[in-house]
Amino acid sequence: MNITKKIKAMAKSYGADIVGIAPMSRFEGAPPQMDPRLIMPDAKSCIAVGFRVFRGSLRGIEEGTFFSNYSAMGYGGITYLYMPMTVINICKVIEDMGYEAFPMGHQSDWRAIDNEGNLKQKYSKPVAPGKPAPDIMVHLRLGAYVAGLGEIGFSKMLLTPEFGPALRVGLIFTELELDPDPIYNGPKLCNKCMACVNQCPGNCFSKTKTVKVTVAGHELEWSDLDMSGCDYAFRGGTKTEPGKKGFYYDGREDTKPGSHSPFLKKPNNLYNTGQAICGSRGCTRACIDSMEKRGVLTHKFKKPFKRSKPWSVDWSDYESLTGQNAAKTSAKETD
Ligand code: SF4
Ligand code: SF4
């Protein structure tokens, strides 16, 4: 077995569901703040490993009865436990062969750019002229794209033929030269059905405004996503009406639960960032449904994903539940 096949087999034996390899030349044109070649100039290969999110982890959110599992086992647990262990173990084997390797997971908290790609103010400075400000952060989904794992959907999610958008990605950069995989050119996975757009609880996707980028010579296009809207909505919150108070997020008096959250206050994070109360209703759940109905997913289930009636929480009693009506009444009584 050649070394590329061995590394791929090893990655799967350590827990990866899918593996792809890109030569570093496919990062040509990446903005310096996102270019892994400026982290490891002698790197030859990027190994992308994908970890499925269990469709069953989303079942409790579909039913509206059990929200923690996706955040813990589908999101935080894979991101901060399972994936790092796998990519770390792969790096050990490569370094034992005499080639440098480093595992990359979700380390965005240290990156020098914000969600819009702008340099954070008063954060860090380049160590020498011509270098980007620390930290560079490689776009994990685009790393997976250039390694051939799938395509980028209108939602900006990586869509894979096996699991659709229900996947977490880790990358390994190494000086070991491996045989590359082609960029995905199988059956079209995103048909611009707009299910992600229509079912996103934060209305975060634009139907008409898109972002176009060229990655490894391929034109990619996705919806111009409102990241700050997603930041509110994916944790279950929404903004209160003008003049009204709410307490969904700590330290924010302008937040209340949206109709997609059953919680009066956002529950604690699970595994550091597990707080996906919306259960990725648009960008993952609606997309899985769309892809399954079109028969484009190779990983098959006996029963369809969408089975129960969509639910929506009625928060018309929010003020009384948070004691605001009582406070107003007693204020009137003492007037
Ligand atoms: S829901 Fe439809 S439009 Fe959105 S990414 Fe999936 S396939 Fe594409
Ligand atoms: S995570 Fe939720 S709020 Fe954010 S884009 Fe996806 S569906 Fe919309």
The pLDDT tens digits of the residues spanning 183-222 come to 999 999 999 999 999 999 999 999 999 999 999 999 999 9
Is residue 148 within 8 A of residue 184, CB to CB? The reply is yes
Strand partners, 31: none
Burial letters for 73-104: b for 16+ Cβ neighbours within 10 Å, e otherwise?
bbbbbbbbebbbebbbebbeebeeeebebbbb
Question: Residue 318 to residues 236, 246, 264, 275, 321: CA-CA distances in angstroms?
Answer: 14, 9, 8, 21, 5
Give the distance (Å) from ligand 2 centre to CA of residue 197: 9
Question: pLDDT higher for 115 or 317?
Answer: 317
**Whole-number Å distance between alpha carbons of 220 and 27:** 14
The 3-state secondary structure of 136-169, one letter per residue: CCCCHHHHHHHCCCCEECCCCCEEECCCECCEEE
Q: What is the pLDDT of residues 87-131, one digit of tens each?
A: 999 999 999 999 999 999 988 889 999 988 899 999 999 999 999
**Which residue do the tokens 């009444």 mark?**
329
What predicted TM-score, i.e. pTM, was given to this entire model?
0.94
Q: Which of 141, 163, 192 has most ligand 1 atoms within 8 Å of CB, for mutation?
A: 192
Backbone CA torsion sign across 122, 128, 131, 136: negative
Q: What is the atom index within ligand 2 of the atom nearest the CA of 282?
A: 7
Backbone CA torsion sign across 77, 305, 190, 46: positive
Is residue 56 within 8 A of residue 73, CB to CB? The reply is no
Query: For the chain, which residues make up each domain, given as ranges?
Result: 3-188
The finding on whether 204 has its CB within 6 A of some atom of ligand 2 is: yes
**Whole-number Å distance between alpha carbons of 75 and 331:** 44
What's the rounded mean pLDDT across residues 215-238? 95
State the ligand closest to the CA atom of 279.
Answer: 2
Q: pLDDT at position 331, please?
A: 44
Q: What is the pLDDT of residues 24-80, one digit of tens each?
A: 999 999 999 999 999 999 999 999 999 999 999 999 999 999 999 999 999 889 999
325 has a pLDDT exceeding 80: no
State the ligand closest to the CA atom of 199.
Answer: 2
The finding on whether 230 has its CB within 6 A of some atom of ligand 1 is: no
Q: Is 100 left (phi over 0), alpha (psi -120 to 50) or beta?
A: beta
Q: What is the pLDDT of residues 264-311, one digit of tens each?
A: 999 999 988 889 999 999 999 999 999 999 999 999 999 999 998 999
Q: pLDDT at position 328, please?
A: 52
What's the chain's length in residues? 335
Q: pLDDT at position 334, please?
A: 43
pLDDT above 90: percentage of residues in the chain: 90
Cα angle 74, 107, 99 (rounded to 5 degrees) comes to 105
The 3-state secondary structure of 297-312, one letter per residue: CCCCCCCCCCCCCCCC
Q: pLDDT at position 273, please?
A: 81
Give the distance (Å) from ligand 1 centre to CA of residue 67: 23
Question: pLDDT higher for 144 or 106?
Answer: 144
Those residues whose C-beta lies under 8 Å from the C-beta of residue 221, and which sit 6 or more positions away, are 154, 210, 211, 212, 213
Q: pLDDT at position 177, please?
A: 98
154 has a pLDDT exceeding 60: yes
333 has a pLDDT exceeding 90: no
Give the distance (Å) from ligand 1 centre to CA of residue 114: 25
